[in-house]
Structure 1
Amino acid sequence: MEIKSTLKKGILILLIFTLIVSTPSTLAFGQEESSIQQQEEIDLQQELESLGNLLKLIKANYAYEVTEKQLIEGAMKGLFYNLDDYSNYYTEEEFKELNETVSGDFGGIGLYVTEKNGNITVLTPIKDTPAFKAGIKPEDIMVSVDDIDIRGISLKKATDLMRGEPGTKVKIGIVRRGESKPLYFNIVRELIQLNPVEYEILKDNIGYIKITEFNNHTLENVLIALGEFDRNKIDKVIFDVRNNPGGSLREVIDVLRFLVPRGPIVHVKYSDGQIKTYFSYNDDVNFKLAVLTNKGSASASEIFAGAIQDTGVGTIIGTTTYGKGTVQSIIPLANGGGVKLTVAEYFTAKENPVDKVGIQPDVVVENTTKEDLQLKKAIEVLSKSATEL
């Protein structure tokens, strides 16, 4: 396989967004447009030839071993060099990890782990997952996966070893306090669905919901929490989206449709100038809300906070959000890899920009002590009577 033809295939895979709409008003205009297109094609062919020659030069003279595939993947990544920070090319392995992160679904055993004192340490098993059922406990120190010693390796490498196709087996070795010898567990992997929602009932009969990300399971778990609050006659709820990096546009809109009144939620402006507005159709808003934000609240979290603020159903408390006001599309490619490409910018219900600006809180509170002053303020705000608000 020649480098030039392979490179051309790789780059052409990425040109999936090219759309030429031709509606010539005169013959002269049509000829001029055709001429420009022909010149652009010639220029592209010349650039591809130059790039192909550069790859040949590297392969022939580079001091170390490098494969044609590695060079082509590097060239494809290079196409995104001058784009924004959120547009990237992903290899097949990287693209699989990206999809798992976005969806919240992966094949594994169901553990939250961290690196502690140089050891891979269990924070907690996820309830009802294979690890939970097998009896792995918080503070267990992981020492092996399938008889591979994982002491001293990175957290990512350790988690990669634990993950795999649902239905496959994995042998986990751990050291537990009080046990003289390592314990071993033979576990069958399952499809793990990460629940990004935690909730509880606070004092003064106020509901609290923390959303760590907007993955494919956010809506279903928010509705479980709201249902519990409704059964307990709770109509005041704090949503905590601090350090929530964002996630699915669809998911955050679906959640907001249960919280904000009929009208616009967010406006999304695409590269061709078209604007798509997403609406709520809710005529029965039941909750008084407070939303906790900080610098780590980004993207979908900012859509969430902006919609609550603009529709007047809640108070934003904390610090200014990150300021990521763009939308990315995730596109699989024929080679198994994929692309994440910025395709639009979004604006709040009142058409305020978010990108590089963020959402300004209604009540600015910084957590300067160990006490959660932002949460304390949210409880104070919601505890007031309707007339005081």
Structure 2
Amino acid sequence: MKRKICLILAIIMILSTLTSYAFARELDEEKFESDVEFMQDVIKFVLQDYQYEVDQDDIINGLYVGFFNVLDEYSVYYTPEEYQSLIDNTAGEFTGIGVQIIDSEGQVTVLTPLADSPAIKAGIEPGDIIKYVDGLDITGMTIGEASAIIKGPEGTTVKIGVIRDGKNLNFDVIRNKIVTSTVEGKILENNIGYLKITEFANNTVELAKKELDVFDESNIKDIVIDLRNNGGGTLKAAIDMLNLFVTEGPVVYVDYATGEEYVYSSNLKQQKYDIAVLINGGSASATEIFAGAVKYKNEGVIVGTKSFGKGIVQSLYRLKNGSGVKFTTAEYFSIDKTPVHKIGITPHIVVENPKIDTSKYPEFSKEQKPNLGDVSLDVLSAEMILQTLGYDVNEPDGVYDNTSFEQVKNFQDDNNLSAYGTIDIATQNKLYSELLEYANSSMEDIQLEKAIEQLLNN
């Protein structure tokens, strides 16, 4: 039997949860009550005459999702399960492919793949529109719904179909445990420090200070700060980080929906380090606060490609029933009120890194499992990849001979697979992921080289 919905109670629940938030705009009470009454009548009418059974929870969730869909692409409603998943992710560990995604006009879009994640190794890039997950069209899904489908048990494979520059691309990505360590430090040649920051999290500044202590012990004065594919984080972490590198004065202006403007400043009296900052299209939000302050205060050189252009701030609220909402509450501006949203930060030195070319390797069919004596493009691809990875095979010809058979077994044994020689789907996936990892590690990092060059010539 169909259950009736009391829309008024639903809306009162969400509004009462947010009573602590001051409304920036005056609410037309009379119109609001009239609108709510009208919507209640419409829902009752539909439920009474709709042919099929409908779940009340689905209706309520649909109501909230629709409510937030009329806002910008960063404003989201989370069911209790989705909200808990979000909180678990921020705890620093989860199982998935390692991408930050947003809703862009109804499309699930990659904001940035996480560093060293299965997604980045597979070749997924910032701006990719995720269209299919294991053949299911996810267009129109909420970010929470899409995340739940993309995630899965560790070691399983998920087929991700994306649209990039109008082209359809498919990636087979092996899910893995994603541990979000936000800071990596090391000392490069010529006594240059390298600080890679993957996210501005609550503990990022503390971790960065530990790396700087190591640099100080070696009397390092030149530092490359790598913010490529850093999708952002908290405003506070970005401000605290700027206090380590940029001198005193305003570093960001935040205009809230309430009409208030907060000006955040650095209190650093004198720069201790000369810095070069690396950014790209996956650098967004809090990352752009940091890069913008460095650029517009002329206290470092920015190298790479233009950043994403996300200059707005979201606040996260937990609702009474365990669900949650995240919506835009402010816009920020860089030095001298320079806008960032949908504009981004253009580097002082624009330089592209070369992209991986895997087009010469035939794609695995993922349908056949070649064995000794078979002849196919799958065998040819396996032979070519094995040769590239340094395995001693004969000249690739697509014929699965004894030499290739033995090397496939060696590869399987090296990668904890069943070493029985059949080029099964798991082996095909692993061959391709190892090829991408090899290509990534062997590609020249021109952006980093240019940043180092700037520091040495300063």
TM, length-normalised to structure 1? 0.70
C-alpha separation in 2, matches of 1:275 and 1:358: 21
- Please say if residues 7 and 52 of structure 1, whose CA atoms lie closer than 8 Å, have aligned partners that are also in contact: no
Task: Give 1:64 shift.
Answer: 4.2
Cα deviation per residue 1:113-136 (whole Å; 9 max; x = unaligned)? 78xxxxxxxx89xxxxxxxxxxxx
2:181 to 191, 195, 200: 195
Give the 3-state SS of the residue equivalent to 1:279 in structure 2: strand
Task: Give 1:273 shift.
Answer: 3.1
C-alpha separation in 2, matches of 1:100 and 1:287: 36
Q: What letter matches 1:19 in structure 2?
A: F
C-alpha separation in 1, matches of 2:282 and 2:304: 11
C-alpha separation in 2, matches of 1:309 and 1:382: 15
User: Matched residue pairs, number?
Assistant: 302
Q: Establish whether residue 377 from structure 1 lines up as the match of residue 450 from structure 2.
A: yes
Give the 3-state SS of the residue equivalent to 2:151 in structure 1: helix
C-alpha separation in 2, matches of 1:80 and 1:14: 16
Give the 3-state SS of the residue equivalent to 1:360 in structure 2: coil
C-alpha separation in 1, matches of 2:53 and 2:268: 61
Give the 3-state SS of the residue equivalent to 1:53 in structure 2: helix
Give the 3-state SS of the residue equivalent to 1:346 in structure 2: strand
Q: Counterpart of 2:320?
A: 334
Q: CA RMSD in A?
A: 3.1
Give the 3-state SS of the residue equivalent to 1:77 in structure 2: helix
Give the 3-state SS of the residue equivalent to 1:375 in structure 2: helix
Q: What letter matches 2:23 in structure 1?
A: L
- Please say if residues 228 and 278 of structure 2, whose CA atoms lie closer than 8 Å, have aligned partners that are also in contact: yes
Q: 1:100 to 1:248 in 2, by over 3 A?
A: farther
2:38 to 39, 43, 50: 50
Q: Establish whether residue 80 from structure 1 lines up as the match of residue 87 from structure 2.
A: no
Q: Counterpart of 1:143?
A: none
Q: Counterpart of 2:13?
A: 10
C-alpha separation in 2, matches of 1:273 and 1:47: 26
1:320 to 297, 306, 321: 306
Q: Establish whether residue 291 from structure 1 lines up as the match of residue 295 from structure 2.
A: no
Task: Give 1:257 shift.
Answer: 0.8
C-alpha separation in 2, matches of 1:3 and 1:11: 15
Task: Give 1:61 shift.
Answer: 4.1
Q: What letter matches 1:195 in structure 2?
A: S
- Please say if residues 276 and 300 of structure 2, whose CA atoms lie closer than 8 Å, have aligned partners that are also in contact: yes
- Please say if residues 244 and 301 of structure 1, whose CA atoms lie closer than 8 Å, have aligned partners that are also in contact: yes
Q: 1:20 to 1:351 in 2, by over 3 A?
A: closer
Cα deviation per residue 1:266-297 (whole Å; 9 max; x = unaligned)? 11111233211111111132110000011111
Task: Give 1:51 shift.
Answer: 2.0
Q: 1:376 to 1:59 in 2, by over 3 A?
A: same
Q: 1:193 to 1:104 in 2, by over 3 A?
A: farther
Q: Establish whether residue 69 from structure 1 lines up as the match of residue 72 from structure 2.
A: no
Give the 3-state SS of the residue equivalent to 1:258 in structure 2: helix
Q: Counterpart of 1:31?
A: none
Q: Establish whether residue 99 from structure 1 lines up as the match of residue 101 from structure 2.
A: no
C-alpha separation in 2, matches of 1:113 and 1:357: 28
C-alpha separation in 1, matches of 2:225 and 2:307: 15
Q: What letter matches 2:211 in structure 1?
A: A
C-alpha separation in 1, matches of 2:349 and 2:452: 13
Q: Establish whether residue 19 from structure 1 lines up as the match of residue 19 from structure 2.
A: no
The equivalences for 1:137-216 within 5 A come to 156-158=151-153, 194-216=180-202
C-alpha separation in 2, matches of 1:63 and 1:205: 73
Cα deviation per residue 1:169-223 (whole Å; 9 max; x = unaligned)? xxxxxxxxxxxxxxxxxxxxxxx97321112111111111111111222111111
Give the 3-state SS of the residue equivalent to 1:257 in structure 2: helix
TM, length-normalised to structure 2? 0.60
C-alpha separation in 2, matches of 1:8 and 1:368: 52
C-alpha separation in 2, matches of 1:233 and 1:339: 47
**What stretches of structure 1 of length at least 5 have no aligned partner?**
22-35, 115-122, 125-152, 162-191
Q: What letter matches 2:448 in structure 1?
A: L
Q: Counterpart of 1:139?
A: none
Identity value in percent: 41
Q: What letter matches 1:8 in structure 2?
A: I
Task: Give 1:15 shift.
Answer: 5.7
Cα deviation per residue 1:14-71 (whole Å; 9 max; x = unaligned)? 66445389xxxxxxxxxxxxxx96xx32322222222223333443444444311210
Task: Give 1:11 shift.
Answer: 4.4
Cα deviation per residue 1:305-347 (whole Å; 9 max; x = unaligned)? 0111122221000111111111111112112111111111111
C-alpha separation in 2, matches of 1:227 and 1:211: 16
Give the 3-state SS of the residue equivalent to 2:216 in structure 1: helix
